[in-house]
Every structure is written in structure tokens, then in C-alpha cells.
């Protein structure tokens, strides 16, 4: 079946972890007393960029800013659909300055940016499926931001409630495989949200908690290739059974801040 899966060329926006550190704690993964190897983080990140380019994808970069250690997690900066940019307003004060630097990049690239009035953390919680936006809430992005995003982007927004603090962003509990299917960890969601997902995606690839804790759901798919954390072996096997081609990329050093492959990857549509 993998021969029938067709990749679609993507354009990604990223930011090198030149100033990566864990200086504060804003999610259960972050422990400021844990040493961080910046050189290793950069080496792993460059491996991700190389993997994207080797599979035919375009990659643009935002210049990292000293004092903003989480700027590497570009996905949180905005969500871009049909050339419309819905920006970010971070929940944590430590991250709020990042928004302006990403907004500057988008503006200079010719994209007008809408600044949200409510807390919204970009593609961390707003996931474009090709038909509508799946929108997470519970820990970061608010429901008011869901409504605002629908008005700005002009696509239906389906709210989903996250209930496990280890999966504080939607992109840690769910990713889009292609225009027709997703992979997700059901227990990261409220009962009603699980029912919604089951109705929308009856053939979804379901992940275990072990898969999710290995950052297996913080993955990026181009419709054929799935860039996935190496430790999520069971999930990679299930994805392969559905005809996709897993491409393991190790970002374990960045996991110390609660981020992985998707967190580092903003898609420009």
C-alpha cells in the first residue's frame, strides 16, 4: 500500500536551537536542574532539517534570539492556512516575546499577521487537517481563540479538550497523516472529545501512552513519509501497516523542554 501514498511537497519554517536551554518550567517535561547539551540539540535539529530536504521539502529559517530558549519550537508561533497567518499569544510570560520575532519574519515575507486577542499557541493547538481545524484546549489555547481563529481563517474549527498535562498541546497527542486520516492517543482527550475523534476518523491510527510519551505523536507527515521519534517503535510499525513510510529522527535533547519534531516545524500553506 505504501506505493499508493503520494507525498506532497511542503514548506516549513524553523528556528535553530542556538540558544536552547531549560531555564524555567512551564510543562511537566521541563526541569531546570537537568543539564542540556546545546551542541547535541543543534546536531539533532540539523538532522531533522536534512531529513526534510532529502525528502524534497522547502525549509525557511527564523534567526534565533538570545534569551528566548524555546524559540526553536516554531510550530507554536502561528497557524498558516491559505496564506493567512493567525499568530500567537503565549500562555507563559517567558515565551511571549517570541511572537514578535515570528511576526516580523512573516510580515517581511509578505504575510499579514493577525494577532490573537486570547491565548493561542499556534500549531501547537490548531491543527489543519485539509478540511477543517482541530483545536486543542485545556492547558494553553483558549476556546475564545478557537472562535477567533475560525473568523480569521474562514474554516470550521472543531474544539477538543486535553486532560493529561503531559500532553499539554494538541500536537503532542495527535498528528495528521494526510487529508483523510490522523493518529492520536485517545486517553489524552476528554470522553466527549474522544467520541468526536472516533466519529470523524473511524480508521485512525491509535497510539498507546508509551508511544505518546516517546513523542511519537509529535510527528510530521507529508502524506507518505512520517518523520517520527525513533523510540515510538510500536506507533511507527502501525503507521507502516497503514501504508506510510516512517522516517525516524531523534530530537531527544529537545524533549527535555517538552518538544519534538512537530514542535520544531511550522508549516506555511
**Which sequence positions are flagged as catalytic?**
169, 263
Closest to 122 measured CA to CA, from 231, 269, 267: 267
Sheet with 266-267, strands from edge to edge, namely 58-62, 11-15, 266-267
- Cα separation, 234 vs 253, whole angstroms: 21
- Please, is 111 exposed, middle or buried when counting C-beta atoms within 10 Å of its C-beta (0-12, 13-18, 19+)? middle
Q: How long a stretch of residues is the chain?
A: 269
The residue written with cell numbers 484546549 in the block is: 137
Are the CB atoms for 208 and 221 separated by under 8 Å?
no
Are the CB atoms for 18 and 42 separated by under 8 Å?
yes
Closest to 216 measured CA to CA, from 252, 165, 168: 252
- Please, is 21 exposed, middle or buried when counting C-beta atoms within 10 Å of its C-beta (0-12, 13-18, 19+)? middle
Q: Which three cell numbers stand for residue 266?
A: 511550522
Amino acid at each position: 500500500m505504501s506505493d499508493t501514498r503520494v507525498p506532497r511537497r511542503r514548506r516549513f519554517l524553523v528556528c535553530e536551537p542556538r540558544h536552547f536551554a531549560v531555564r524555567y518550567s512551564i510543562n511537566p517535561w521541563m526541569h531546570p536542574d537537568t543539564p542540556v547539551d546545546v551542541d547535541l540539540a543543534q546536531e539533532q535539529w540539523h538532522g531533522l532539517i536534512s531529513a526534510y530536504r532529502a525528502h524534497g521539502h522547502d525549509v525557511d529559517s527564523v534567526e534565533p534570539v538570545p534569551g528566548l530558549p524555546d524559540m526553536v519550537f516554531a510550530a507554536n508561533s502561528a497557524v498558516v492556512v491559505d496564506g493567512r497567518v493567525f499568530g500567537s499569544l503565549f500562555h507563559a510570560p517567558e515565551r511571549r516575546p517570541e511572537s514578535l520575532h515570528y511576526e516580523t519574519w512573516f510580515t517581511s515575507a509578505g504575510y499579514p499577521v493577525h494577532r490573537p486577542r486570547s491565548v493561542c499557541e499556534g500549531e501547537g493547538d490548531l491543527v489543519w487537517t485539509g478540511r477543517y481545524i482541530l483545536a486543542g484546549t485545556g492547558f494553553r489555547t483558549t476556546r475564545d481563540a478557537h472562535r477567533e481563529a475560525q473568523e480569521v481563517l474562514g474554516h470550521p474549527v472543531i474544539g477538543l479538550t486535553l486532560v493529561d498535562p503531559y500532553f499539554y498541546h494538541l500536537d503532542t497527542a495527535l498528528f495528521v497523516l494526510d487529508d483523510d486520516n490522523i493518529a492520536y492517543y485517545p486517553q489524552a482527550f476528554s470522553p466527549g472529545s474522544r467520541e468526536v475523534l472516533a466519529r470523524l476518523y473511524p480508521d485512525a491510527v491509535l497510539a498507546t501512552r508509551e508511544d505518546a510519551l516517546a513523542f511519537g505523536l509529535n510527528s510530521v507527515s507529508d502524506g507518505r513519509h512520517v518523520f517520527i521519534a525513533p523510540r515510538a517503535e510500536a506507533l511507527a510499525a502501525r503507521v507502516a501497516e497503514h501504508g506510510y513510510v516512517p522516517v525516524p529522527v531523534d530530537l531527544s535533547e529537545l524533549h527535555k523542554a517538552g518538544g519534538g519534531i512537530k514542535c520544531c516545524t511550522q508549516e506555511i500553506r
